[in-house]
Structure formats: structure tokens, C-alpha cells
């Protein structure tokens, strides 16, 4: 290893705790190879898709606080492990919007929280720390989507809007789509107060599932636990996604914060997890 790489690696270690857990389950494989670790959806691997969700073992996107050389070095290692080119990464500036864009080349993307392509070799990339990654694949028309759904995006229904956009722009049939919900903050840790609780009640009361979506936090008046994953699943089903085609990572970023980054757990010191999906 040259001096530059060694320096980058040493800086990177500063942000990492020892990873001892294995998060593999029926939907997820926890890959540990080439000196790095990441998670992959078994279902997407069946179709030969590039896909991963990074862990704390690599440092990404600390809002400028992480040395750019470290980020570049870690991106290069990740791309080498996935067998993709570093210049194939398409990554927008995320703003918790419901803006979604189709791309067929690597271009500068701003104010964007969803990207879709049918072009092989473009690897759609977004960053997360507790927000929900939604990876979508149309195996018939060979279209992919990568969606960043924080609680604001969930209220704006960015996931269902991506499905509708794939239907309108690519002829995708919702019943054919495969949807993978990546690691995110789960109901066990998504504590909110009255303002956010009321937003969810207002937007999703028609689903008649408020008792499941919002639970009072025992012993904490005015505090509530919200299940954004359930909301995403229900609203995806509304637009035609089959329940059996939705694959949940079942990983809470807060519960597993010694393996993946979590803003709730680490506050301003939190790093970012990177989710990638691509057609080969």
C-alpha cells in the first residue's frame, strides 16, 4: 500500500468501530471481502443486479467532514469489489424532496431524491443514515430505481411516485416490480412528537391502520413511535405492487448502529451508508 492509501486507511479507521455482528437474514447477505463489508439483497442477486448497502467499515459522505481522499479511496475499493467502474456512479444532491429523474448518462443531479434508468452500466447511488432506501427493479423491461425516502419523503409518497413514473415512462407494470426496502430506522426507534404524529395521521388515516402505524410510547406522554416501513409497504401496494414482491431488509439502523451508520444513534458524528443498484 502506498503512503497515500495508508494515510487514507488510517483516517478511515478513526470513524469505525469494530464490526462483530453479521446482519445476514433470509433477504440479506452480509458480505465481508476485500477488506470491506456491505449488505446485498438476495433477490436482486438472483437477477444479476449490482446492489449493495455499505456499513461503518467504510466512511462515506460526512457532509464534508471526512477527508475527500478517504471517500474516494473507499468508493474505489467498493467499486472494485462490486466489479463496476468508479466513473459509473450517478449520485444526486439529496434534499428530502419527492423529485425523481430518469437518466441515461452520468450527469450532475441536484435537488433529487429518486433516480431511474434502463441503461446498463449506470449505477444509481444515494446516501442514507436512518432514512429508507427503496430499490426497485422491473425484470421485464429492465428498469431500476433508487429512492431516498426519509419521513418527509414517505409522507410525500416518493416510493409510489417512483412506481408510477416507471409505469408512465417505461411501460413498467407494478405487479411485475421487485421492491427492496433497505436498512432504516424502524418503529422501535423512530420516536416523534405531536407535530410529526399528526402529519402521519392526516396523510395516512384513510388506510385505517393508524393503530399499527403510530403507537404511544409507554411512559412518555406526547411521544410516539411511527412505523414508516409499514407506511411505505401499504402505499406501494396501493399502486399495484404485490406484497410478496416487497423484500424488507428487516434491519433497524439504530439497533444495528455498531454495523451501519445511524444519525439517531450518533447525531452529528454520524456517517452515511451508501445504497447502489445497477444493471450489468
195-243 pLDDT, tens per residue?
999 999 999 999 999 999 999 998 899 999 999 999 999 999 999 999 9
Residue 55 domain boundaries: 3-170+180-185+248-278
- Quick: pLDDT tens for 137-166: 999 999 999 999 999 999 999 999 999 999
Answer yes or no: is 129 within a domain: yes
Structure confidence at residue 16 (pLDDT): 43
pLDDT tens for residues 246-270?
999 999 999 999 999 999 999 988 8
Helix (H) or strand (E) holding 30: strand 28-33
Handedness of CA 110, 102, 250, 242 (dihedral sign): positive
Please state, rounded to an integer, the average pLDDT across all residues of the chain: 90
Domain with residue 261: its CATH number is: 3.60.140.10
Q: What pLDDT is stored for residue 257 in this prediction?
A: 95
Q: Is residue 114 part of a domain?
A: yes
Residue 11 confidence (pLDDT)? 35
Question: Is residue 198 in a domain?
Answer: no
Residue 112 has pLDDT above 60, yes or no: yes
- Closest alpha carbon to 236 in 143, 166, 141, 131: 166
Q: What is the pLDDT of residue 61?
A: 57
Q: Could you tell me if residue 83 is inside a domain?
A: yes
* 218 in any annotated domain: no
- Count how many domains the chain has: 1
Going 170 to 174 to 179 to 181, the CA torsion angle's sign is positive
For residue 19, tell me if it sits in a domain.
yes
List pLDDT tens digits, range 49-94: 999 999 987 667 555 566 778 778 888 999 999 999 999 999 999 9
Q: Residue 73: inside a domain, yes or no? A: yes
Q: What is the pLDDT of residue 219?
A: 86
Domain annotation covers residue 238: no
Amino acid at each position: 500500500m502506498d503512503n497515500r492509501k495508508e494515510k487514507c486507511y488510517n483516517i478511515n479507521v478513526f470513524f469505525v468501530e469494530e464490526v462483530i455482528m453479521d446482519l445476514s437474514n433470509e433477504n440479506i447477505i452480509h458480505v465481508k471481502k476485500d477488506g470491506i463489508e456491505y449488505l446485498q439483497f438476495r433477490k436482486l442477486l438472483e437477477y444479476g443486479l449490482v446492489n449493495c448497502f455499505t456499513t461503518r467499515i467504510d466512511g462515506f459522505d460526512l457532509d464534508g467532514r471526512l477527508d475527500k481522499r478517504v471517500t474516494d479511496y473507499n468508493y474505489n475499493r467498493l467499486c472494485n469489489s462490486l466489479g463496476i467502474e468508479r466513473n459509473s456512479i450517478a449520485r444526486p444532491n439529496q434534499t428530502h424532496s419527492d423529485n425523481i429523474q430518469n437518466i441515461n448518462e452520468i450527469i450532475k443531479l441536484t435537488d433529487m431524491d429518486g433516480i431511474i434508468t434502463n441503461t446498463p452500466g449506470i449505477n444509481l447511488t444515494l446516501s442514507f443514515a436512518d432514512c429508507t432506501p427503496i430499490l426497485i427493479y422491473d425484470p421485464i423491461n429492465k428498469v431500476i430505481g433508487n429512492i431516498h425516502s426519509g419521513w418527509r419523503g414517505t409522507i410525500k409518497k416518493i416510493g409510489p411516485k417512483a412506481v408510477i413514473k416507471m409505469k408512465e415512462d417505461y411501460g413498467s407494470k407494478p405487479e411485475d416490480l421487485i421492491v427492496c426496502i433497505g436498512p432504516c430506522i424502524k418503529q422501535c426507534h423512530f420516536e416523534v412528537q405531536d407535530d410529526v404524529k399528526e402529519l402521519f395521521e392526516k396523510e395516512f388515516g384513510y388506510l385505517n391502520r393508524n393503530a399499527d402505524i403510530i403507537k404511544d410510547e409507554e411512559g412518555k406522554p406526547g411521544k410516539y413511535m411511527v412505523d414508516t416501513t409499514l407506511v411505505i409497504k401499504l402505499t406501494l401496494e396501493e399502486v399495484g405492487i404485490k406484497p410478496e414482491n416487497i423484500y424488507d431488509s428487516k434491519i433497524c439502523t439504530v439497533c444495528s448502529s455498531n454495523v451501519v451508520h445511524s444519525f439517531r444513534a450518533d447525531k452529528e458524528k454520524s456517517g452515511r451508508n451508501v445504497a447502489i443498484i445497477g444493471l450489468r
